[in-house]
Structure 1
Amino acid sequence: MRTHMSILSFMALMGATSAHAADTTMYVAGFGGDVEKAFREKIVPPFEAKTGVKVVYVPANSTDTLAKLQAQKGRQSISVAIIDDAPMSLAIQAGLCAKVEDGPNSKNVYPSAKRANGEAIGLGYGATGLVYNTQIFAKNGWAAPTSWKDLEDKRYAGKIVIPPITNGFGLLALVMEARLNGGGENKIDPGFATMKRISPDVLDWEPSPGKMAELLQTGDAALGVWGNGRVRAMLMQGAPVKFVYPKEGALMILSEVCPVQGAPLPQQAQAFIQYLLSPDVQAIFTAATGLGPVNKETKLAPAIAADVVYGPESVQKLIRTDINTINANRTAWTERWNREVEK
């Protein structure tokens, strides 16, 4: 059973400014880029001011943070780890995450952002769906895509871009195609059969976000599979693209946070996680990442809310995959993909 952190104890810890706290340094690993900037400029300073705890932010991608936690097992320096859901599952399986205590903000988190055993909790929702170039579609008189089945429409032959299976978006597309054709994570053959049909019409299986954005912006690619956060970033730069939540559903992407097992400052780590889940910090995280808030009480400006997963109706439309089954089969699927799909 998880330890309950009451509002009073949370506020007491947040308000601690003792000489001991002033000398305390806590390491937090998370994403780089705009996320790192938001943490350094907007998220960390208020927490430091309220608690006297110095927070050192360590930027890295999820796989690198996971590797660091694995290498330091038993002698951890990082107290809080922010990782995407698939590598987070591996971290949990390796015993690298302690349980998240119940608290004043975690109680307002949507159920789909919570782990069954509480070893991690979501920070932001993303969606994997379709993206298209609005100018190319308008020029050709094509209606906007609405379905995963549109990837099999011959009108788009040679104009489709999809990340490979080594990229999370491509992997989720494979799983979705399996689900739509009588299979799923435990029966992946229908997914491979569909991807093999689509493959001749794919311009590029592109792993690089930068190159993916370039192909979509120039119109070399008219249609693709991508995340809503990536598309939002392109829109903010003026690109003629739009994200589509397919009628069959979009696949959930979840960035998560966990207190690291056996790491220094466990109480401060729990307080920091509750702080990250507060409505105000959730709004900052959403603005920096394009990932929708997991706290039901978060309020977003209309311009931001329109481009992210926001509110119970949007959250309920997301399809959550069986990450443990995916992780267990990832190597075998990758080898098969290289033989059958991306030849």
Structure 2
Amino acid sequence: MKYLLALSAALCLTTVGAQAADKKLTISVYSFAQDAFKKALYDPFEKICDCELVVETGNSVERMAKIEANAANPVVDMAVMSSHDALALARKGLLQPLDVSKIPSYGDLYKSAQDPIGDKMAVGYGFYATSIVYRSDLVTIDSWADLLSDKVKGRVALPNITGTQGPLTLHMLGKALGHEGLDFANTIDAIGEKKDDIVTFYGRSSQLAQLMLQEEVIAAPVGRFAWSRFSGANLPFKWAEPKEGQTGGMNVMLMTKGNGNEELAYQFMEYWLSKETQTRIAELKLDSPANSKVVVSDEIAESLTYGADLINSLNMLDPGAIIDNRDAWVGRWNEKVVN
């Protein structure tokens, strides 16, 4: 009898262990700061859920292609990406609407993060502002139009049109130059006329940081997530507050259609969006919180896109406008700027 009881207990423990091992959530994320995210987000969640997180990284094009290629049998349960990339997947029928009743922290999110691409297809988890970083000892930046002025001639960099910051810069530069509409034709033409005055059209913030630290560039549009590369330097870099305002974007989380792992995905979404987790991530300066209940010190806030006043003031491009106009922007850019 004792043997049978022991055997039964062993089988029970084995079954429980097997069930825990079977609880696996595959997520697709940005490559940025993954070691830090593992300690702050992934490891703590695994302890709570008694499950395994499989984390896949890559650039947006690669990650979107993988979701599309496996639409019939999803290999990714949940992903985080820009709002316009998420909308592109939604338009292809690759996402499923979120049941926000399963995300208790949903009501604590800033309103713009609650349904950023419509139809509850995604939820925002982080914001970023974009402005101009400049050398305050060498130049003063008061307007986005200053990027094409003689005072930074030969020492300015702009983002490439294909990068995240490209369309945002066109949006604000167009405002400063008095251009209307979202085709950005006149704005791209204006850049083309000044292309010989521009040091480079950068693709990565790390590339730009190197040029600015080498003092080859004294002004350039930068996403707030990269500000720490400059704020900790021994050179007098400053974050501009142009008269036209700042622009920015939002990163969102989404769920692939028919992945069969929805409940665990909802559990992870809630964990990530909770006040406690968003505060921890913010304090580590890994991301700017979408949860409006997060409170951080002034010192931490300086490195983030933080607070209702700033977030509500951002001149963000509509995700649909980016998708609908991107091919035309790239075509004109290649014609006027690259050639």
- Please give the TM-score of this superposition, normalised by the length of structure 1: 0.86
User: Per the alignment, do residues 172 and 77 of structure 1 end up closer, same or farther by CA in structure 2, a change over 3 Å counting?
Assistant: same
3-state SS of paired residue (2:181): coil
Which among 91, 98, 122 is matched to residue 120 of structure 1?
A: 122
3-state SS of paired residue (1:200): helix
- The AA in structure 2 aligned to 1:222 is I
1:262 aligns with 2:261: no
Question: Map of 1:272-287 to 2, 5 A cutoff?
Answer: 272-287=268-283
Q: Aligned partners of 2:235 and 2:57: how far apart in 1?
A: 28
Instruction: Report Cα offsets for 1:75-110 as digits up to 9, x if no partner.
Output: 112111011222112111112222222232111111
Q: Aligned partners of 1:23 and 1:74: how far apart in 2?
A: 21
Question: Map of 1:290-329 to 2, 5 A cutoff?
Answer: 290-329=286-325
Amino-acid identity (%): 24
User: Per the alignment, do residues 42 and 319 of structure 1 end up closer, same or farther by CA in structure 2, a change over 3 Å counting?
Assistant: same
- 2:25 counterpart residue number: 26
Q: Which moved more, 1:164-173 or 1:20-29?
A: 20-29
- Which structure: larger Rg? 2
- 1:7 counterpart residue number: none
- 1:182 counterpart residue number: 179
Matched positions, count: 319
Q: Aligned partners of 1:237 and 1:282: how far apart in 2?
A: 27
Instruction: Report Cα offsets for 1:26-74 as digits up to 9, x if no partner.
Output: 111111241x213321212222222222211112222221111011111
The question of whether the paired residues in 2 share the 8 Å contact of 1:183 and 1:191 is answered with no
- 1:70 counterpart residue number: 68
User: Per the alignment, do residues 39 and 210 of structure 1 end up closer, same or farther by CA in structure 2, a change over 3 Å counting?
Assistant: closer
RMSD: 2.1
- The AA in structure 1 aligned to 2:213 is Q
Q: Aligned partners of 1:130 and 1:28: how far apart in 2?
A: 33
Q: Aligned partners of 1:237 and 1:196: how far apart in 2?
A: 32
User: Per the alignment, do residues 91 and 48 of structure 1 end up closer, same or farther by CA in structure 2, a change over 3 Å counting?
Assistant: same
Q: Which stretches in structure 1 are left out of the alignment for 5+ residues? A: 1-16
User: Per the alignment, do residues 241 and 121 of structure 1 end up closer, same or farther by CA in structure 2, a change over 3 Å counting?
Assistant: same
Q: Aligned partners of 1:49 and 1:257: how far apart in 2?
A: 21
User: Per the alignment, do residues 86 and 22 of structure 1 end up closer, same or farther by CA in structure 2, a change over 3 Å counting?
Assistant: same
- 2:247 counterpart residue number: 251
1:335 aligns with 2:331: yes
Q: Aligned partners of 1:50 and 1:222: how far apart in 2?
A: 47
- Please give the TM-score of this superposition, normalised by the length of structure 2: 0.87
- 2:169 counterpart residue number: 173
Which among 95, 108, 114 is matched to residue 93 of structure 2?
A: 95
The question of whether the paired residues in 2 share the 8 Å contact of 1:164 and 1:170 is answered with yes
Question: Map of 1:95-244 to 2, 5 A cutoff?
Answer: 95-102=93-100, 103-113=103-113, 114-115=115-116, 116-134=118-136, 138=137, 140=138, 142=139, 144-180=140-176, 181-185=178-182, 187-236=183-232, 238=234, 240-244=236-240
Residue 190 of structure 1 and its aligned partner are, at CA, apart by: 2.9
